[in-house]
Chains A and B, each alone.
Chain A
Amino acid sequence: MAPHDLRRPFKRPLISDQERRRQQSLLRQAQNRLDAQHHARFLVSTAFSLSSSQTPEPETEPIHEPESHQNDELDVLEASKLKGAEARKWFAKQLMHPEWMIDIPENLTNDWFVLARPSGKRCFVVSSNGTTISRLRNGSILHRFPSKLPNGARTKDVNSGSSNSYSILDCIFHEQDQTYYVIDMVCWRGYSLYDCTSEFRFFWVNSKLAETGAFDPPSYYHKYSFSLVPVYGCDQSGLCSAYSAPVPYVKDGLLFYNKHAHYQAGITPLALVWKDENCSQYVMDTDSKGQVPNQQQVVLELQEDGKLTTCDDPPVVFGCLDGSFIQQSDLHSGYLLRFAIGEEGLVLVGGKLEKADLQYLGKANRARASADSFSKVMFQYSVRHSPLKLDDLLGSVSSPVDQESKACDIEMDG
């Protein structure tokens, strides 16, 4: 017969400190293993997706310092640790920029989302290590602040997960109500969303952001409020809503996103921007005094061989400066130069630019990070000559009756 176990007198400690040390080591190891796993899961994939979607830099770029090439290989976590100029350079290349809509994509109804773009400063908002930083499109810091985004403030909240984890949102900061309007999500709690379709990313933005309290009004640990932008399917009613439904912010045109497109750094034809006078104060570019100049102005980049190009990949050549003019005006390759488009305008043959009447105005504003894109120049040109109207857009989407059965399967009204 087995002897009955004696009860332990409870005046003696139940668990030895040694056992506790052992348990704590096991816990620490398990946590470290989780962190390592977590790190491996998202970071490496981010690094890969980033380097593959990276716009290759021209071989020699006098403006860039030598280490800039290395930065292309950084993953987002490493990048999130970068400081100063390094960080500026890295973030300047990460935003996805829409092309301007110069013609209407096929299948707008089925394959695209539309949203009313808030007017304001486009930026990345990065939350990690207990702080939140917003960076403008040139990479410089707009705000550094505490927020309720994951790891966005130094609070004792243990739910924000691994301290390594960080989130990156694509936002527009709207001055009037001091709110960050979230238009896209790039990383969430360390998971990269670069390789996900916009359909998925919008779904994610909607479901995740609400969990954090980011929409709460500003408070000590949450200096700025965040808000979602309503996203519609691109049928007639969606287009109308985006165009005219009231929103708490000042609109600056409509943004179109292809549902199947991944987040891609740089300019992409799979996101498009369109404006008219009704939905934007800034249809036509203004000069530094805020006036619309008589002639359309463009900013182009001077190449080694004197060619003047857009910022597209591959670049579109608008013209060429001769060597003596370059020397006279003390210009160097890589400079951004401002031109006016003259009387003769732009000559297009089969959608390709054949000839441009350029008049040199001078060097572009120093704050400019890059030349204009081809689509921007073309959109501005068409606004002045034969603008693409809302009716054109509405005409291209099928009537809502046809679409009933294919109604947008995710409702993006936050």
Chain B
Amino acid sequence: MAMEVTQILLNAQAVDGAVRKQAEDNLKQFQEQNLPSFLFSLAGELANDEKPPESRRLAGLILKNALDSKEQHKKIEFVQRWLAMDQAYKAQIKALLLRTLSSPSPDARSTASQVVAKVAGIELPHKQWPELIGSLLSTVHQLPAPTRQATLETLGYICEEVSPDVVEQDHVNKILTAVVQGMNSSEENNDVRLAAIQALYNALGFAQANFSNDMERDYIMRIVCEATLSPELKIRRAAFECLVAISSTYYEKLAQYMQDIFTITAKAVREDEEPVALQAIEFWSSICDEEIDIIEEYGGEFSGDSDVPCFYFIKQALPFLVPMLLETLLKQEEDQDQDEGAWNIAMAGGTCLGLVARTVGDDIVPLVMPFIEENITKQDWRHREAATYAFGSILEGPSPEKLVPLVNMALSFMLNALTKDPNNHVKDTTAWTLGRMFEFLHGSTLDNPIINQGNCQQIITVLLQSMKDVPNVAEKACGALYFLAQGYEDAGSGSSPLTPFFQEIVQSLLTVTHREDTGESRLRTAAYEALNEVVRCSNDDTAPMVAQLVTVIMMELHQTLENQKVSSDDRQNELQGLLCGCLQVIIQKLGASEPTKHHLMQYADQIMGLFLRVFASRSATAHEEAMLAIGALAYATGTEFVKYMQEFYRYMEMGLQNFEDYQVCAITVGVVGDVCRALEEKVLPYCDGIMTQLLKDLSSNQLHRSVKPPIFSCFGDIALAIGENFEKYLLYAMPMLQSAAELSAHTNGADDDMIEYTNTLRNGILEAYSGIFQGFKGSPKTQLLMAYAPHVLQFLDSLYNEKDMDDVVTKTAIGVLGDLADTLGSAAGPLIQQSISSKDFLKECLSSDDPLIKESAEWAKLTLSRVL
């Protein structure tokens, strides 16, 4: 048997497709027939040093994939399957895996350490395999270096796999001791040292208690800092990565080390090789992130009871930090702007400088201005670019009072540079800097506008001119135009300063979209984004021109659909997506007011026809955009949308079935809501199909969980549209809502993400209840809902008791109380009277500071006053 497994595993990697297929079938068959013995054979293969490396590698891989999956539902299934397996088998498999950690083959050791961590990830949370950590650590000091390395790697993977609360403090202490010893400079084997540092990186989350102990913390910090000086690059980089992780996990414990850390990071930034220098800069960026968060959260006011105080590390380091970062700006790479994935020390330094500006505000300006003045006119393009980049980087953070005078001085220089500078790199950064000026210092909220009648025309002329420049410069010019338009969003109903240029701007952007040299760059996308923003921020003056744009974009879309008949490629699908997006923006713009809506409606049939054709393409992005645009069209069209339903319904159903591209599914669910509100009771003939699909979606464990809350809300939309006709779905929808409500009532022990998700789910459930109650109001069938009332009230009570609702849920929940009373009337009076929601919860909401909560509560009070 064992012999056979080796051969099958080798065959499964054969070049000959038929052989491979046969082997894969054999493996599958074996797995299905007897999983425990299958896994045992694989573990045996992996552990056996006499087997060929290829079969061992595949054995390990299959083993690992049998324990974990990226897909949530499979993962859960695998966990259950392992837990249910016979203990004897599992014990033997685990013993084989641990033995493999001492194998002479590095590959086998590495694979085994990952598989051990996967098993631990399943068993430790269930209080199984308690002896694992102890047995890994018991002999770690005496082991030969390769095994020590494998053991440390295993510990690292385990820490990555399981959450801190399933490992007892005693074990954490032991792990950290072993890890820190492995990191010590006395460890001569670099592989072991590297494994130890990487393990520490994963174990940091476990070390709360140790970081609170001065002595232990000092020791860990000393070892990490020492490791940054190792002669081995990989070790230095890993050590800085640890420092970065420590800076975000233990920000409040860093004060006493900052002096030393500054010294070693500064040295690394100036002298070390790029991979290390990048991490050293990242340390400061990460400190900025922390301080920006803290300052945002507490609004700069710190009292004794603030959770995390701000230590103003950046402010203190400013005189040394800023010159260090400015130096990095001069280390640009040629052509970095053409490479999407480029990331180098100049970019990291500029990014960090931008974060520093956001952290300290005005204080950065005097430290950066001399650098700009000194370099902006220099001969070497690197100096001009660095100076421009520095200026662009500090435009967010300092106050407008500080920046506006500087921008007023710099603006015409920048406009000039954008047209005249001989270097593309400088022009690229100049256009970007102009965009940043418009983004942060232009708009109706600012007292002193940097753009006025005097320079508006020049700015537009220069930007439109730049759109003819090389693609990367043209792209940034489109970006600048985007923010220029955005600043006029609230210009009011009066004439926008852009109105006289509207036609010219639109024409230039359309020309850009037709450029042949856009290649792989983002230029075409940037041009459509700018066009969309120009449309969004346009005012009534230009509505006729926006209406003309409808026919232009329709023609373009028609053209791509025709081209598609000949050949289809990604660029074309992308273009269809962009065109649908553009139409969506136009539909929303023109649909927003009655006079302009008229312009749109004459094209509604044609537009809808094109959208339906887009569904023939296989691109998820294009589908998504077409779906969004159809939602907007349904909203603008109202009841008359019914004429498209016959044809559209098919694609709606397809969208609801699209589990794989869950974004498409989510958007389609939203569009179902749009259609319900547009058609009202006329949506009824389609409801059987829609409801069936939605219920299937909810029961599926393949569909991404983020789609489920909107599906519940959609129940509410449907019920509100079709009223008492929802009766026939109650039997299916209500139990679903009920069990989801029970699941979402408690969040105990969940992390922030889970709590946020749970609140979204609760809101969806409550919106469903709200729609259903309101839909039935006044119907003779309201008594059908009486049976569900106790559960709904219980749900509201438990939400109130749980005390972890967000404001949106609170508002919806108290509204549901009102809806229930409103629809069921005095028949529900006694039930309502028993609920806490009708008393304490309502009282709290009535005195809420949130006007929306208060409004809902007042309404609930009103309906309760009628029934009680």
Chain A residues with a Cβ under 8 A of chain B: 1-2, 4, 6-11, 13, 16-18, 21-22, 24-26, 28-29, 32-33, 36-37, 40-42, 44-45, 48, 156, 159, 161, 189, 191, 193, 195-197, 200
Q: Is the CB–CB distance between B628 and A22 below 8 Å?
A: yes
Q: Are B866 and A21 in contact (CB under 8 A)?
A: no
Q: Least Cβ distance of B849 to chain A in Å?
A: 14
| CA–CA, A44 and B776, complex, Å | 11
**Docked CA distance A7–B198 (Å):** 20
**Docked-complex contact B771 and A9, CB < 8 angstroms:** no
Which residues 703-726 of B have a CB within 8 angstroms of A? 713, 716-717, 720
- Rounded to whole angstroms, the CA-CA distance of A205 and B575 in the bound complex is 57
Q: Residue B397 at the A interface, CB < 8 A?
A: no
Q: Which B-chain residue is minimally distant from A154 (CB atoms)?
A: B493
> CA A156 – CA B282 in complex, angstroms?
45
> A131 to B745, alpha carbons, bound, how many Å?
45
CA distance A358 to B61 in the complex (A): 108
- Contact yes or no, A25 B354, CB < 8 A: no
13 A-B interface contacts by CB (under 8 A): A1-B198, A2-B202, A7-B285, A9-B350, A10-B354, A17-B528, A18-B581, A28-B632, A29-B631, A29-B674, A32-B673, A41-B819, A41-B822
> Does B674 contact A32, Cβ atoms closer than 8 Å?
yes
Contact for A13 among B342, B479, B865, CB less than 8 A: B479
A48, B238: Cα distance in complex, Å: 71
Contact A40 B720 (CB under 8 A): yes
- Give B860 Cβ to nearest chain A Cβ, in Å: 10
B653 contacts partner chain A, Cβ-Cβ < 8 Å: no
Are A25 and B774 in contact, with the CB atoms below 8 A?
Answer: no
Do B815 and A1 touch (CB < 8 A)? no
The chain B residue sitting closest to A208, CB to CB, is B858
Q: Across the interface, do A196 and B432 meet the contact criterion of CB distance under 8 Å?
A: no
Complex CA–CA separation, A48 to B779 (angstroms)? 11
Contact status A33-B767, CB under 8 Å = yes
For window 770-829 of chain B, which residues contact chain A by CB distance below 8 Å?
A: 770-771, 774-775, 777-778, 815, 818-819, 822
B77 → chain A closest CB, angstroms: 24
Complex contact A196–B862 (CB within 8 A): yes
Q: Are A18 and B670 in contact (CB under 8 A)?
A: no
Chain A nearest CB, measured from B595 CB (Å): 15
The 3 closest A-B pairs by CB, nearest first: A17-B529, A40-B774, A1-B198
Q: Which of A29, A32, A195, A196 has the most CB of B within 10 A?
A: A29
Q: Which residue in chain A gives the minimum CB-CB distance to B852?
A: A34
* Contact (Cβ within 8 A) B819 A28: no
Most buried by B among A8, A9, A13, A24: A9
Query: In the bound complex, what is the Cα–Cα distance between A25 and B629 (angstroms)?
Result: 9
* Cβ B577 vs Cβ A36 within 8 A: no
How many angstroms between the C-alpha atoms of A382 and B665 in the bound complex? 76
Nearest-neighbor residue (CB-CB) of B818 within chain A: A41
Task: For B822, list chain A residues within 8 Å (CB).
Answer: 41, 45
Contact B774 A41 (CB under 8 A): yes
Q: Which residues of B contact A11 (CB under 8 A)?
A: 337, 347, 350, 429, 432, 476
B858 near A191 with CB under 8 A, answer yes
Contact residue among A22, A45, A159, A161 (Cβ-Cβ distance under 8 Å from B777): A45
- Flag if A196 contacts B866 (CB, 8 Å): yes
- The answer to whether B778 touches A18 (Cβ under 8 A) is no
A18-B858 contact in complex given A4-B241, A196-B866, A197-B865, C-beta closer than 8 Å? no
Interfacial chain A residues near B674, Cβ < 8 Å: 29, 32
Interfacial chain B residues near A4, Cβ < 8 Å: 241, 244-245, 279, 282
Which residue of chain B is the closest to A25 with respect to CB atoms? B628
Tell me if B343 is interfacial: C-beta within 8 Å of chain A.
yes
Q: How far is the CA of A197 from the CA of B862 in the complex (A)?
A: 10
Question: Is B236 at the interface (CB under 8 A from chain A)?
Answer: no
A25 to B583, CA, bound (A): 13
Beyond A17-B525, A17-B533, list 13 extra A-B contacts (CB 8 Å).
A1-B238, A4-B245, A7-B285, A10-B350, A17-B528, A21-B625, A21-B628, A25-B584, A25-B631, A29-B674, A40-B720, A45-B822, A200-B862
Mask for B345-376, Cβ within 8 A of A = 1, else 0? 00110110010000000000000000000000
Whether, in the assembled complex, B532 has its beta carbon less than 8 Å from a beta carbon of chain A, the answer is yes
Interface-centre pick from A2, A18, A197 (highest chain B CB count, 10 A): A18
Q: Which residues of A lie under 8 Å from residue B476 when comparing CB positions?
A: 11
B631 to chain A, nearest CB (A): 6
Is B285's CB under 8 angstroms from A48's CB? no
Q: Point out residues on B near A: beta carbons under 8 Å.
A: 156, 160, 198, 201-202, 238, 241, 244-245, 279, 282, 285, 337, 342-343, 347-348, 350-351, 354, 393, 429, 432, 476, 479, 492, 525, 528-529, 532-533, 577, 581, 584-585, 588, 621, 624-625, 628, 631-632, 635, 663, 667, 670, 673-674, 677, 713, 716-717, 720, 767, 770-771, 774-775, 777-778, 815, 818-819, 822, 851, 855, 858-859, 862, 865-866
Q: How far is the CA of A8 from the CA of B770 in the complex (A)?
A: 42
Closest residue of chain B to A1 (Cβ to Cβ) is: B198
Q: Tell me which of A21, A29, A197 contacts B584 (CB under 8 A).
A: A21
- A33 CB contacts on chain B under 8 angstroms: 673, 677, 713, 716-717, 767
Closest to B632 in A: A25
Contact A36 B432 (CB under 8 A): no
Other-chain contact of B635, A7, A32, A48, A193 (Cβ < 8 Å): A32
A29 and B670 contacting across the interface, CB-CB below 8 Å: yes
Shortest A213–chain B CB gap in Å is 15
Residues of A within 8 A of B670 (CB): 25-26, 29
A26 vs B855: C-alpha distance in the bound complex, in angstroms?
Answer: 22
Q: Which residues of B contact A42 (CB under 8 A)?
A: 859
B588 in contact with A7 (CB, 8 Å): no
Q: How far is the CA of A51 from the CA of B777 in the complex (A)?
A: 15
- Give Cα distance in the complex from A32 to B822, angstroms: 21
- Known A-B contacts A1-B198, A7-B348, A25-B670; the reply to A37 vs B865 at CB < 8 A is no
Closest to B344 in A: A9
**CB pair B156 A1 closer than 8 Å:** yes
Contacts of A28 in B (CB 8 A): 588, 632, 635
With A1-B201, A25-B631, A28-B632 known as contacts, the answer to whether A17 contacts B862 (CB < 8 A) is: no
In the complex the two chains form, what is the Cα distance from A200 to B858 in whole Å? Answer: 12
Instruction: Say whether B625 contacts A44, CB under 8 Å.
Output: no
How far apart are A259's CB and chain B's nearest CB, in angstroms? Answer: 13
Q: Are B351 and A1 in contact (CB under 8 A)?
A: no
Q: Which of A9, A191, A195 contacts B859 (CB 8 A)?
A: A191
In-complex Cβ contact of A25 among B667, B717, B770, B865 (8 A)? B667
Bound-complex Cα distance A32 to B771 (A): 13
B residues in contact with A26, CB < 8 Å: 670
Q: Which residue of B lies closest to A48 (CB)?
A: B778
Complex Cα spacing A21 to B628, Å = 8
Distance in angstroms from B802 CB to nearest chain A CB is 24
In the assembled complex, the Cα of A1 lies from the Cα of B241 at a distance in Å of 11
Closest to A30 in B: B713
Chain B residues with CB below 8 A from A200, complex form: 862, 865
B720 and A36 contacting across the interface, CB-CB below 8 Å = yes
A32 touches B581 (CB 8 A): no
- How far is A284 from B572 in the complex, measured between Cα atoms in Å? 86
Q: Specify which chain B residues have a CB less than 8 angstroms from the CB of A29 in the assembled complex.
A: 631, 670, 673-674
Distance of A265 Cα from B393 Cα, bound (Å): 66
CB closest chain-A residue, reference B343: A6
Report yes or no: B285 in contact with A40, Cβ–Cβ below 8 A: no
Cα–Cα distance between A196 and B855 once the two chains are bound (Å): 17
Task: Report Cα–Cα, A159/B854, bound state, in Å.
Answer: 13
Chain A residues with Cβ under 8 A from B241's Cβ?
A: 4
Q: Which of A1, A18, A41 contacts B160 (CB 8 A)?
A: A1
Report the separation of the CA atoms of residues A37 and B720 in the bound assembly, to the nearest whole angstrom.
Answer: 8
Q: In the assembled complex, which residues on chain A have CB atoms less than 8 Å from the CB atom of B342?
A: 9
The answer to whether residues A10 and B667 also contact, given A4-B282, A29-B673, A191-B858 and a CB cut-off of 8 A, is: no
Assess the A2–B160 pair: CB atoms within 8 A: yes
A189 to chain B: closest CB distance in Å? Answer: 8
Beyond A9-B343, A41-B822, A191-B859, whether A22 also contacts B667 by CB under 8 A is: yes
Known contacts A7-B285, A200-B865: A40-B777 contact under CB 8 Å: yes
- Please indicate the chain A residues that have their CB under 8 angstroms from the CB of B717 in the complex: 33, 36
